[in-house]
Amino acid sequence: MNTNKYIEFKKKRELGDILTDTFAFLRNEGKSLFSVLMKTCGIPFVLLLLASAYYTYASSNLFDPVSISNGDMFNSGAMLISLFLMLAALLAFYGLLFGSVLHYIKSYVTNNGIVDYESVTKGVKEDFGSILGLGVLSGIIIFFGFMLCVLPGIYLYVPMSLVFAILVFRNVSVSDSISESFQLVKNEWWITFATLFVLGIIIWVISMVFSIPALVYTFSKTFTAASEGTYADPSAMVDWVFIALNTISSAAQYALYVITAIASAFIYFNLNERKYSTGALEQIDSLGNNS
């Protein structure tokens, strides 16, 4: 039985409360959640890291003066192939991660803090295809928003950040998840944007900590090459040490998506409560049944 203090999701929250409860939930449920993620996302995570390492190696030609002068940076196709593999692995990992976290929270809420691990894995398997499709469709929507102008892209990102939570918690279709996301953020766009913005800054700061070893190694190697007068080929900077450190940094950044997934659940329930007051109505009904 879970002895951690139960965190109520179905209630109104301010920005600070969402951030505080996000990290409180991660602290209380992190160990159990991590065990679930190892089963559902372990293999895709490893494949994503391998794809990221391969992309770092393949993209080193961008800094090779010989390749640039010959115009054959992309002739081998290695960079394009590595980019495709990395994006495909990222999409699979992203879908499984969000599906796992949100189904974990769904079970947590349904059973008042007790998680049914079998229902979590079952839900992830059932919704995986829909989550992948929703990820691709929402990504296209945001992409075209940024292509039109930066502001439409930012505007569309806010409702699109909630589509996975709506899909899982309401068990609706992909199209309904997208349409409902716009209804949910209506008149609440600014507070939702502010929450996502502050959360993004926090995650960026944390990820920068893990990037320090790669940055230190790059600066030290650049300084050494410049002092020895051997800084003629920037592609030489991309050696196996740099690739390893860069991959570790990427691993930390990908793992931090867990925080985003948890926060999206709190944001969803906050907006849902402000719109429909479902949590308050359920509490009233429970009091009536107990009386």
Contact (Cβ atoms closer than 8 angstroms) between residue 121 and residue 39: yes
With a cut of 50, say whether residue 26 has pLDDT above it.
yes
pLDDT in tens, 212-270: 988 888 888 777 766 665 554 555 567 788 888 889 999 999 999 999 999 999 999 99
Contact (Cβ atoms closer than 8 angstroms) between residue 141 and residue 160: yes
Percentage of the chain exceeding pLDDT 90: 62
**Look-up: residue for tokens 């359920």?**
282
The confidence score (pLDDT) of residue 286 equals 52
Pick the residue with more confidence: 8 or 73? 8
**Strand, coil or helix: 156:** helix
| Furthest-apart CA atoms within the chain: distance in Å | 84
Lowest mean pLDDT among 48-52, 67-71, 214-218, 233-237: 67-71
The confidence score (pLDDT) of residue 1 equals 43
DSSP 176-200: HHHHHHHHHHTT-HHHHHHHHHHHH
Q: Alpha-carbon distance 243 to 95, whole Å? A: 26
180 conformational bin, left if phi > 0, alpha if psi -120 to 50, beta if neither: alpha
DSSP label of 5: P
Mean per-residue pLDDT of the chain:
85
Q: Which two tokens stand for residue 147?
A: 């292509």
- Output the CA torsion sign for 190, 261, 278, 25: negative
Q: Alpha-carbon distance 43 to 80, whole Å? A: 23
